[in-house]
Amino acid sequence: MNDLSSKDHITKFVTSLKDLKDALEFDLKKAIQKGKLSMAFGARGKPGQAASYDSGFRIINITKTNGDGSVAHEFGHFIDHLCSELNANRDRSHFISRNPKGLFVKPVQNLISAITRKENGEKTDFYKNVQKISGKDFSSIQEYFARPFESYVEDSLEKKTMKNTYLVAPNKMSKV
């Protein structure tokens, strides 16, 4: 990645963090510091990926050309991972959505249930629409947190008449 492209990604990312802070209304700086989050731009991606979160190294990678609109989704994975560490006996590669412990068991089960199923047992519209968008079922349990998180961020921005296409891709999650 050349200097101009790097500068562009960094500027957009910093702006995205400011907008994410406004959308979530909590102290992102504290979460980032506690979770020791790092960033990579165009350095760690795999073919076909727009972005990724590496829990082992706590790095969000945004690919050079396809990463725009992925920050909220990957930050959702980071928050999911960060919450798992509230239980001191957890390995750092775990996610709270994958293996909830202690106080988190019931809330996480309720969250996943609310995302995927109506009270009558039918799939929720959100779940069906995500399946249409992604062309498949959620690829991993972590997606049960990251995709709704991304949708929440987009809805939050919209309520505040804000838009950031580096943070959330337009018309991606809004249809969900």
Q: Phi/psi of residue 139, each to 5°?
A: -75, -25
Tell me which of 98 and 7 has the higher pLDDT: 7
Mean pLDDT across the chain: 82
**169 within a domain of the structure (yes/no):** no
**167 within a domain of the structure (yes/no):** no
Q: Residue 117 and residue 36: Cα distance in Å, rounded?
A: 34
**165 within a domain of the structure (yes/no):** no
**15 within a domain of the structure (yes/no):** yes
Residue 124's domain spans which residues?
3-159
**175 within a domain of the structure (yes/no):** no
As for how many domains the chain has, the answer is: 1
- Per-residue pLDDT tens over the stretch 22-38: 999 988 999 899 889 99
- Per-residue pLDDT tens over the stretch 88-128: 454 555 777 777 776 777 777 787 788 788 889 998 887 78
**174 within a domain of the structure (yes/no):** no
**166 within a domain of the structure (yes/no):** no
Q: Residue 27 and residue 97: Cα distance in Å, rounded?
A: 22
Q: Residue 124 and residue 148: Cα distance in Å, rounded?
A: 12
pLDDT reading at 47 higher than 60: yes
Q: Residue 150 and residue 78: Cα distance in Å, rounded?
A: 12
**170 within a domain of the structure (yes/no):** no
Say if residues 69 and 168 touch (Cβ distance below 8 Å): yes
User: pTM for the complete prediction?
Assistant: 0.81
